[in-house]
């Protein structure tokens, strides 16, 4: 049997993206703080666009659980 679960958390995606961007940008050598902030701003938008394939309104995520196959997959929008 398959069933879907829709989860909502308005902060989860934003918090995860912010943490990922902070880690990503901190590894770029030779940038001053203004450059680092500009790169971070662009990366946040890029990461949010990619996540938009699965997250609706940046907070809703639907997964489909298959009890026979014992799998759980994220449902694309």
User: How far, in Å, are 1, 3, 8, 33, 48 from residue 62 at the CA level?
Assistant: 16, 10, 9, 37, 17
Say which residues have a Cβ less than 8 Å from residue 35's Cβ, sequence separation at least 6.
Answer: none
Q: What percent of the chain has pLDDT over 70?
A: 100
- Which pLDDT tens digit goes with each residue over 43-53? 999 999 999 99
CA distance 40 to 68: 42
Look up the pTM and report it.
Answer: 0.84
Stretch 2-14: mean pLDDT: 96
Stretch 11-22: mean pLDDT: 96
Instruction: Report, in angstroms and rounded to the nearest whole number, the Rg of the chain calculated over CA atoms.
Output: 16
């Amino acid at each position: 049997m398959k069933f879907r679960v829709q989860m909502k958390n308005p902060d989860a995606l934003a918090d995860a993206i912010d943490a990922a961007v902070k880690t990503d940008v901190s590894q770029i050598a030779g940038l001053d703080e203004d450059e680092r902030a500009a790169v971070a701003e662009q990366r946040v938008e890029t990461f949010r666009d990619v996540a938009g394939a699965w997250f609706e309104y940046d907070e809703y995520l639907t997964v489909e659980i298959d009890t026979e196959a014992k799998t759980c997959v994220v449902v694309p929008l």
